[in-house]
Chain A
Amino acid sequence: MGNFIKKDLLIFWRDRKELITVLILPILLVIILNFAFAGLLGKDTESNLDLNLAVVNQDNATDSLEKLKEKLVNEGLVGEGEANVFVEQASHLDPVSMLLNYLDSDELKGLVTIHELGEEEAITKVEDGDLDGILIIPDGFTVESLYAAFVGEAPTKSLEFKMEKETNNTSILFDIVQGFTDQLNYQFALQEMDALENEVTLPTGGVEKVGAGESFTLTQYFTTAMGALFALFLASTVGTKTGLEIRQKVFNRILLTNSNPILFLIGKMVSTFCLTWLQIMFIFVFSHFILDVFPGRTVSFWFGVIGIASLLSLAIAGLAALFTSISLRVRNIDAANGIFMLVILLFGTIGGGFVPIYVLPDWLQQIGEWTPNGISLVMVTKWIQFEDLSNIFTPGLLLIGIFLLFTLLSFALYPKRGEA
């Protein structure tokens, strides 16, 4: 028995290049994912963005109020006096200067840099990639908008937001400008109702955290997901390594030694368990030292993590045993390897190993919670949040169940006398 375990561990130890890849790569991935998604999903996303917006102001604002008055009177909509009143009101609501003030405000200082340019120059700069987008305020925009505000019809001139391609940056810029114009329109609507000075009690909002648990961060997610994913990879590696042993007739020689052939399988399982456990702990501990993934957690928390890692390792050992039995049985070892890879990819994907599980549709997330890596992800999530054994008891049982199921299957599939 001991010899078999030693043999399998030695197979891994001899292949140090692979061993290093399997240990270093997940940690590298955790770091990369952290960088890649920090800008996308993190809390203070906007602070690391630097957006460049060109503003092309073709609207000559100085005489626009005069023009507006003329237009109102000429159209015969109102008398001179009423027009004066409206223009007076409108002068407080000059959309162009409000927009420019907003873009220049402290709120947006760190986020957007404004460049006042001519249209030609701005277009060249966008094409060179120096700017993200151009906001064009067309000639007569103020007059037309204010006129539209007065008569309550859609305006004939509109702001133009020009961009080369739709990217993350341009959509954020567009949302910023559009958010502001929405707000402005709302102000106009309120003015229309003569309700600008109305007293409003705004909702205060608030956040309630259930269970008063700790929050679960993306870094923790990536660490857990990568740990589980590479544990899966290890299962398929053990499976494929059997191919090598078949080729070198190791298996046949074992049969000749008169030792019980099932020990070969058990040796694989035990060594897989040890390796997976070491690998997961390595990933957790090193990620923690590099990225401070679990700041200020107690010793009992870490014991829980060790427990979860052990359960996952158990399930992975079962999977590896199943792969080994299949490898010994099939004629075409390559096809078997390919299928192992597909199974691992499938488990990895729906268990949240390749893309954050939150991107997947709900029903897929629920299926994913039945894969070994998915279950362990759920367990770690709950353990981090609540550190309560009752929360992870059922999924823990599930992992043991998976281990038993896979082990039974692999024993059943294990070649009998003369079948290997």
Chain B
Amino acid sequence: MKSVMWAQLMKDKRNPLFILLFIAASIVATILFAGGIQTPTMVAVFSEEENAPEIEEKWHELLNVDSSFQFEIVTPEKAREDVMNGVIDVAVNVTETDYQIVIASELPTVSFVQQHVEKVFQREAQFRALEEAKGDKNVRSKMNSYLKNAPIQIEAKGLDGEGLPNFNLGTQLLFAFVFLVAMFMLGLKVNNVTNDKVSGVWNRMILSPIRKTGMYSGYILYTFLITMFQVIVVLILFKYVMNYEVGDNLGLILLIASFFVFSMISIAMLITGFVKTPEQFYSIYPSVIPLIPLVSGAYMMPGTISNPVLMFIADLFPMSHAMDAIMSVVFYDAGLRDVMMSLLLMLLIGVIAMGLGINLIERRNQ
């Protein structure tokens, strides 16, 4: 077992670029996508009235109150052109009291922008009516100060009455991408089995005094260790160097990650069992893997995927269980006991897939 591990390690030591690239990839992916959520949507504002600059200026100020949208004044021609070319999704054509949304197609952002604009315009209409009726210029500030201490308040709380920790989709995405890259990395390492088979190393090992158990556990253990190395390095970098929120209980998170990695190694082993050559593995594995986080809902708010068929498929893979467990540790202070169920499920998936996978690989030999 040791010698098999050692051989794998030497291969990577001679060519460390690969592992470094993967570590870099998971960090870059997280920074890009977790950061991307917060960038505001650009919306163009323009007017075709006679006193366009005034109107534009007025609404530009009133519309720019929400951090998720950024309204910018442009010329009508440019706004239409940008929308048509897909540079921006939405533009707003404003008049003194009314608005028109300019779109090219029904994109998801459109309805959010529309809601926001509608609210702003309705409030404004009411303010204006009020000002006219009262002849009072301070209506707006009076209303606003009244609403600051609004009589009816609502608070969100946890079930125990304590304040609810703020769920952060960025943190969830961080783990999703770390796991996604880990899945690719471990897949490539498990693929060494087929590589060694086609190069004849496998047969030579069979002839050597090394035992079959030793051979398999060598590959598995090495893959496990190198993938965990990547996960640990990335998480530590995020926690201590880049100060991302990855929870206080890093030990438990790494435990969950290790179960996940084992479980995914088994699934990669299963796929290896289906294929004959490393090339086949390369063509099947990368097209299956990106599906898993998607179906498991790792890129979206929890509960977004509610289709029972999809949820069933997601449950067959370890990712959904790992994400569940990690999210409850990071945000809801779950302990080992709370995540035990997820750990056991991942272990179960791992054992079954490993059994099937090794069986298939062995059967192919005969």
Contact = CB atoms under 8 A, between A and B. Distances in A.
Contact of A341 (B98, B126, B184): B184
A290 interface: no
B287 A21 contact: yes
Interface string A205-222: 111111101111110000
Given A39-B307, A154-B149, A167-B301, A208 B102 contact: yes
Contact of A165 (B111, B126, B286, B302): B302
Contacts of B117: 205
Nearest to A248: B198
A356 B300 CA distance: 12
B125 A201 contact: yes
A244 B279 contact: yes
Given A126-B159, A198-B129, A358-B109, A209 B287 contact: no
A104 interface: no
Nearest to B90: A207
Which interface class (under 10, 10 to 19, 20 to 34, 35 or more) fits A? Answer: 35 or more
Interface stretch (A185-193, A256-264, A305-313, A407-415): A185-193
Given A198-B133, A364-B36, A35 B287 contact: no
Given A36-B305, A149-B151, A174-B156, A199 B129 contact: yes
A356 B37 CA distance: 12
A306 to B, nearest CB: 22
B149 A209 contact: no
Contacts of B199: 247
B158 A162 contact: yes
A192 B130 CA distance: 12
Interface stretch (B201-209, B290-298, B341-349): B290-298
Nearest to B327: A165
Contacts of A359: 33, 36-37, 299
B125 A202 contact: yes
Interface stretch (A55-63, A77-85, A108-116, A329-337): A329-337
Given A247-B198, A362-B39, A43 B106 contact: yes
A64 interface: no
B152 A203 contact: no
A204 B151 contact: no
A201 B96 CA distance: 13
A341 B100 contact: no
Interface string A159-179: 111111111111100100110
A241 interface: yes
Contacts of A15: 280
Nearest to A41: B108
A88 interface: no
Given A146-B151, A152-B146, A203 B105 contact: no
Contact of B146 (A189, A345, A354, A362): A189
A205 B146 contact: no
A233 B106 CA distance: 30
Interface stretch (A1-9, A25-33, A291-299, A396-404): A25-33
Contact of B155 (A160, A218, A241): A160
A153 interface: yes
B32 interface: yes
B365 to A, nearest CB: 18
Given A18-B283, A215-B105, A233-B283, A201 B304 contact: no
Contacts of A29: 291
